[in-house]
């Protein structure tokens, strides 16, 4: 177990180094530079040069790379070029919005996806099953921003039931949840569709398995059969759930943009536009950490749920 | 037994109380597309930043609704005969938002900050060689050359006065601004909104609306939707396609006024054929600018040189080019432009109006036998590769914002390396430099008229026009002003009826 954890930790570090280096180089390879953007339309070249010196962007990429890494090792993510404050502070302000949105969406996706999937799996070929199939096809095929705008048009503009845009960071929990309903539904739909498909498939597989037939033929009550089936179907779903959680992170970028939610996704887009390299790198570190952490957790949970994995 | 009238009476009282209460405590929400990069007035030159900062800070002098410079934090000023001395008498009893008193030391410290390295506007204040503060309410500036545009610089957003104590303490004005303005900064959630509350100590009286939220909404259709649902009281950027809907709805008012913008399609005069003024004139004649203005920008006024329509600097001898594709073809043939001449047009994302204008222009130039290939680039790339550094483009479309003084618009003109279009003319360069350091208004006007005439005759742009400043507001929210030329938001007379 310890060896497993250690090897996992090592792979986390390697992943982080590779991803962060890639992002560092990719951002510098983008045309355009932070000083010119900060200066705007009326600045002269001399002023842009002065800004560049002030921000340390006049040094070679190799030197910047070194400076950045020596900071990261000491736990210092640098200062935001655009916001002129520590990157850690920017992330701390923005993370809660994204976490709230992602967890709300995940709970929704879980409830809708597993619920529909299990119901459809129990009654294959039924109208409900067909409806589920229809929902999942549409849910997977259509992009998030399209759903977002559709929901805004119907529920915010037409019925006025929800706000069009924004998020009161300092508002009451109820008000904040109210602002998150449409974004969370938008984010949840494709994930729910994916989960419903897999849950249905897993259930059908287990329901058709020999042990289920045996259990039924020896007259086990339906409730007990369900328990056996669930115990076998559930662990197989875990890696997918972890993947979906990771997918939620990328989904939040689009959804935060559509609904104007000031989370990490909007920060990332703003930072890319302003070539705010330290913030892009900071968000990357955070996203990779969350992604790896969730997958790690899923592995551990799977081991806990499936005794067979413990002896490998 | 309950009194029969009690319940209705209580309800009525509550309703009245709620109505009265809401009228006073109402928050006005303004949606606009561009957000500030910073709230520090001395590190940026971006209009989007000053739109929000305008309400937090005050300047010594300011433009009024007609663009004339009037007193602000200074209630009077004098310029010496030789133009080498500018003195301000300051308003008494003005308080900064942190409670400290505004005096001449704050002005002196602010000027030093404006001249420092990293201040994008340092060159506008570089001629100030000495700042004397004989008493708390007098500031005397000594200049090493007459600077007729200096007053305009003090009236611009970057002329904002900040407290000297906080400058010394290296305060983070960018995130926690402190000024003397009508509104006090309350909160900024980046990419989302800025919240401002009325300044009860404002020197011209407390603003009527207690709280203003400026929301940054990039998508103009979302601004329009928010206006319809009542989430926004004012939508600053509504697309021209939505104007008829707004005008026909009694709940909203569409406000239109003149703007300080000059919309242009810049031509890179370093490139083959584009270096020939005949070709550039031909391109002007080949474009029906009325149509471009109508389709892309919702209408406006034509211009014939690099100055906004209606500007006092415009000599009345300059006429817009007009649309004459026949003459355009003749000129192109005369200049020996080959049949397969192809131009690379770089258009800035996410400015949809400029992209639309570019497409219309592409179509019109096609009619006179010039092929245009459009390339859409992201704004950061546009600033870094088209406007500065490599300048690798043949044409682009952009709007240049207004300036209080002609020197702001024409600085560097005539010198190849100082402008993105690279227009070169030694005579023009000399006139621009001279006009910046002489104080006689008549002579300056003549020099700029000559410069603007040259910019008409050898156009480095296809001149498109000056659009309207257009915004939509809820019928009960009035008094929102957009400062002429500076295009900043003036919230001082904002009210809810």
Partner A contacted by B93 (CB < 8 A): no
Q: For B191, which residue in chain A has the nearest alpha carbon?
A: A262
For residue B384, the chain A residue with the least C-alpha distance is A32
Closest residue in B to A39 (Cα) is B44
**By the CB < 8 Å criterion, does A54 face chain B?**
yes
Of B117, B175, B381, the CB nearest to A50: B117
Do B155 and B81 fall into the same domain? yes
Query: What angle, 0 to 180 degrees and rounded to 10, lies between the N-to-C axes of helices B426-435 and B441-457?
Result: 150
pLDDT of residue B21: 42
Q: In angstroms, what is the C-alpha Rg of chain A?
A: 24
- Cβ atoms A263, A97 nearer than 8 A: yes
The answer, yes or no, to whether residue B455 has pLDDT greater than 90, is yes
Looking at the structure, tell me whether residues B404 and B300 fall in a common domain.
yes
Q: Which residues of A touch B38 (CB under 8 A)?
A: 82-84
On the question of pLDDT at B19 being above 60, the answer is: no
Residue-wise pLDDT for A35-50, tens only, equals 877 777 767 777 778 7
pLDDT of residue A312 exceeding 60, the answer is no
Q: Give B244→chain A minimum CA distance, Å.
A: 18
Q: What is the mean pLDDT of residues B337-349?
A: 94
ipTM above 0.85, yes or no: no
HEC states along A65-125?
Answer: HHHHHHHHHCCCCCECCCCCCEHHHHHHHHHHHHHHHHHHHHHHHHHHHHHHHHHHHHCCC
Domain boundaries, chain A: 94-273
Please say if the pLDDT value at position B10 is more than 50.
no
Alpha carbon of A52: minimum distance to chain B alpha carbons (Å): 9
Same domain, B460 and B479: no
Among chain B residues, the shortest Cα distance to A47 is held by B120
A310 pLDDT band (50/70/90 cuts)?
Answer: low
Q: Is B16 a domain residue? A: no
Contact B17, B454 (CB under 8 A): no
For residue B436, tell me if it sits in a domain: yes
Under an 8 A CB cutoff, do A164 and B387 touch? no
Q: Which CATH class is domain A94-273?
A: mainly alpha
Residue of chain A whose alpha carbon sits nearest to that of B43: A39
- Contact: B191, A82; criterion CB under 8 Å: no
| B429 shares a domain with B318 | yes
- Shared domain check, B211 and B113: no
**Host domain of residue B488:** 27-34+183-251+475-496
Q: pLDDT tens digit string along B267-291? A: 999 999 999 999 999 999 999 999 9
CATH code of residue B64: 3.90.76.10
Strands B495-496, B211-216: pairing kind: unpaired
Alpha carbon distance A168, A176 (integer Å)? 6
CB-count exposure of residue B436 (10 Å: 0-12, 13-18, 19+) = buried
> Please, are residues A97 and A262 in contact by the beta-carbon 8 Å criterion?
yes
Q: What is the DSSP letter of B95?
A: B
Helix-strand-coil split of chain B, %, nearest 5: 35, 25, 45
Predicted pLDDT at B404: 87
pLDDT over 60 at B46, yes or no: yes
pLDDT band at residue B25 using 50, 70 and 90 as cut-offs? low
Q: Examine the pLDDT at B200 and tell me if it is beyond 80.
A: yes
Query: What is the mean predicted confidence (pLDDT) over A78-94?
Result: 90
- Of the candidates B123, B225, B418, which has its C-beta nearest A157's C-beta? B225
**In this model, does residue B18 exceed pLDDT 50?**
no
**Which residue has tokens 């002196």?**
B108
Tell whether A158 is within 8 A of chain B (Cβ).
no
- On whether residue B204 sits in a domain, the answer given is yes
pLDDT above 70: percentage of residues in chain B: 95
Whether the per-residue pLDDT at A103 is higher than 50: the answer is yes
To the question of pTM greater than 0.95 for the whole model, the response is no
Residue-wise pLDDT for B392-430, tens only, equals 999 999 999 888 889 889 988 999 988 999 999 999 999
Q: CB–CB of A278/A87 below 8 Å?
A: yes
List the CATH number of the domain containing B198.
Answer: 3.40.190.10
Chain A residues within 8 A of B216 when measuring between CB atoms: 260
Structural tokens at position A181: 């309903």
What is the interface size between A and B, counted as CB pairs within 8 Å? Answer: 130
Contact list, A157 vs chain B (CB under 8 Å)? 225, 228-229
User: Between residues 171 and 230 of chain B, which touch chain A (CB distance below 8 Å)?
Assistant: 172, 174-175, 187, 189-193, 215-217, 222, 225-226, 228-229
Same domain? B277 vs B400: yes
CA distance A112 to A244: 14
Residues of A whose CB is below 8 A from B217: 165, 260
Total number of domains constituting chain B = 3
């Amino acid at each position: 177990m310890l060896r497993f954890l250690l090897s996992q930790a090592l792979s986390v570090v390697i992943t982080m180094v590779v991803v962060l280096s890639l992002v560092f180089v990719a951002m510098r390879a983008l045309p355009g530079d932070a000083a010119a953007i900060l200066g705007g339309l009326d600045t002269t070249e001399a002023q842009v040069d002065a800004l560049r010196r002030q921000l340390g962007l006049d040094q070679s990429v190799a030197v910047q790379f070194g400076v950045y890494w020596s900071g990261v090792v000491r736990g210092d993510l640098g200062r935001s070029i655009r916001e002129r404050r520590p990157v850690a502070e920017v992330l701390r302000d923005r993370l809660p919005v994204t976490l709230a949105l992602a967890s709300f969406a995940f709970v929704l996706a879980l409830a809708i996806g597993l619920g529909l999937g299990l119901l459809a799996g129990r009654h294959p070929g039924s109208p409900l099953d067909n409806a589920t199939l229809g929902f999942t096809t549409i849910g997977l095929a259509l992009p998030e921003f399209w759903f977002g705008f559709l929901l805004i048009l119907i529920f915010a503009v037409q019925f006025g039931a929800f706000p069009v845009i924004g998020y009161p960071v300092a508002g009451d929990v109820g008000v904040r949840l109210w602002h998150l309903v449409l974004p969370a539904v938008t984010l949840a739909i494709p994930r729910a569709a994916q989960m419903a498909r897999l849950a249905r498939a897993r259930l059908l597989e287990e329901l058709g398995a020999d042990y289920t037939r045996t259990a039924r033929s020896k007259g086990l009550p339906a409730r007990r059969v369900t328990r056996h089936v669930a115990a076998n179907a559930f662990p197989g779903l875990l890696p997918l759930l972890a993947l979906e959680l990771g997918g939620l992170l990328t989904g939040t970028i689009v959804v935060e943009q559509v609904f104007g939610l000031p989370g990490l996704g909007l920060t990332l887009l703003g930072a890319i536009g302003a070539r705010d390299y330290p913030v892009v790198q900071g968000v990357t570190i955070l996203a990779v950490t969350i992604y790896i952490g969730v997958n790690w957790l899923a592995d551990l949970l799977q081991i806990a749920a499936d005794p067979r994995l413990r002896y490998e | 037994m309950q009194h029969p009238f009690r319940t209705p009476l209580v309800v009525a009282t509550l309703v009245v109380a709620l109505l009265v209460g809401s009228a006073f405590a109402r928050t006005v929400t303004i949606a606009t597309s561009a957000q500030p990069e910073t709230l520090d007035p001395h590190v940026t030159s971006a209009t989007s930043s000053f739109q929000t900062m305008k309400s937090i800070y005050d300047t010594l002098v300011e433009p009024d609704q007609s663009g004339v410079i009037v007193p602000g934090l200074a209630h009077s000023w004098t310029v010496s005969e030789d133009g080498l001395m500018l003195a301000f008498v300051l308003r008494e009893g003005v308080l900064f938002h942190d409670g400290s008193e505004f005096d001449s030391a704050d002005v002196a410290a602010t000027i030093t900050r404006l001249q420092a390295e990293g201040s994008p506007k340092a060159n506008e204040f570089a001629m100030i060689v000495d700042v004397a503060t004989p008493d708390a309410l007098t500031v005397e500036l000594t200049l090493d050359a007459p600077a007729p545009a200096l007053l305009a610089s003090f009236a611009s957003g970057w002329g904002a006065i900040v407290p000297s104590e906080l400058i010394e303490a290296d305060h983070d004005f960018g995130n926690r601004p402190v000024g003397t303005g009508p509104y006090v900064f309350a909160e900024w959630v980046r990419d989302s909104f800025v919240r401002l509350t009325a300044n009860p100590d404002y020197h011209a009286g407390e603003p009527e609306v207690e709280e203003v939220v400026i929301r940054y909404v990039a998508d103009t259709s979302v601004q329009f939707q928010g206006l319809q649902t009542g989430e926004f009281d004012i939508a600053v950027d509504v697309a021209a396609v939505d104007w008829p809907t707004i005008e026909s709805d009694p709940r909203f008012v569409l406000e239109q006024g003149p703007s300080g913008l000059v919309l242009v399609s810049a031509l890179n005069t370093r490139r083959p054929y584009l270096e020939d003024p005949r070709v550039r004139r031909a391109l002007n004649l080949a474009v029906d600018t009325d149509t471009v203005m109508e389709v892309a920008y919702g209408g406006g006024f034509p211009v014939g040189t690099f100055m906004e329509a209606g500007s006092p600097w415009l000599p009345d001898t300059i006429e817009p080019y007009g649309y004459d594709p026949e003459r355009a073809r003749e000129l192109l043939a005369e200049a020996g432009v080959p049949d397969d001449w192809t131009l690379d047009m770089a258009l800035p994302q996410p400015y949809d109006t400029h992209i639309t204008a570019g497409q219309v222009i592409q179509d019109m130039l096609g009619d006179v036998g010039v092929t245009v290939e459009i390339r859409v680039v992201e704004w950061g790339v546009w600033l870094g590769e088209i406007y500065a550094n490599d300048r690798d483009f043949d044409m682009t479309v952009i709007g240049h914002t207004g300036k209080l003084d002609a020197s702001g618009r024409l600085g560097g003109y005539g010198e190849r390396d100082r402008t993105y279009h690279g227009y070169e003319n030694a005579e023009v360069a000399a006139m621009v430099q001279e006009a910046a350091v002489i104080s006689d208004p008549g002579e300056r006007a003549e020099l700029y008229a000559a410069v603007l005439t040259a910019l008409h005759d050898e156009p480095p742009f296809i001149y498109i026009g000056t659009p309207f400043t257009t915004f939509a507001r809820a019928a009960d929210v009035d008094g929102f002003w957009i400062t002429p030329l500076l295009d900043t938001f003036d919230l001082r007379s904002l009210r809810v009826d």
